[in-house]
Amino acid sequence: MKAITWRFLDTAKGSAFFNMALDEAIVEAVANGHSLPTFRLYGWDPAAITIGYSQKAGDVLDYGRCIEDGISVTRRLTGGRAVFHDCEAAYSVVGPIHDPLFGCNLSATYRAIGAVLLEALRSCGAEVDWSRGNPASGEERRVFSSAPCFLSTSRFEITCRGRKMVGSAQRRFREVFLQHGSILTGPGHERIGDYLKESHDTASFATVLSRKSIDLDAALGRPVDTGTLKASLFESFARAAGGQVTREEPSPRETEYARFSIHERYSSKGWVLGYG
């Protein structure tokens, strides 16, 4: 079966509201045939927290403290647990569920995209491998009942020396899938412990999280060059897609859709707290 043509977007750093709204806009555009299937890279400015689609920020986070500290909070289109986004390279992949390379079923999509990430990180010098699954222990779940994303590792996620480096989540719609995730490039994700609603020792929490996860800078023993990482990700994806990848910008339709949904949903207190 002939490979389909994909497009590559590098939207640099943006707010949590914009980043999540643009992912939704791309899902809508690809599903309706207005845009090519899309591999996107982006970052976060300022640092922010996202929670899973089925979560309510008021149940999970000390939302008042987030506001006091100027930490934006929004919900993702995908499931999963709370993530503090700071020093990382984020990615999203939106494609048709019948795509012969990346579609198929949920596990196959995780595996295909994970292979792209694995190759790119290895080309940067990181000793990364597949995870066979390393859930939070019973004691960790008892102490940290909200169990944020980087406290446990699922199958087909990427680890380095047994510690999680990439967290991913996926949602499948009628015609397309969305998978997006975080590649830790530096410290900061452990700050999620400062904003969880449950009462605990934040220092102990950070220690546990650092034992379970690792960022690319720490793995390499030097700062990662963002440009090199992005180039490696693009090249790895292009090879996996059979070279059928074009470099583009978000379309005017997607940009307008994102601007609308930022105000309607992603920056809405009701949407974030789960009553809107």
Q: Catalytic residues, which ones?
A: 149
What's the gap between Cα 187 and its chain centre?
A: 16
- Rounded to whole angstroms, the Cα distance separating 126 from 90 reads 17
- Rounded to whole angstroms, the Cα distance separating 202 from 21 reads 31
- Rounded to whole angstroms, the Cα distance separating 157 from 151 reads 13
Give the pair of three-digit tokens for residue 223.
């700062």
Strands 176-184 and 163-172: antiparallel
In the chain, the amino acid numbered 203 is A
- Rounded to whole angstroms, the Cα distance separating 233 from 33 reads 25
Give the pair of three-digit tokens for residue 41.
């890279």
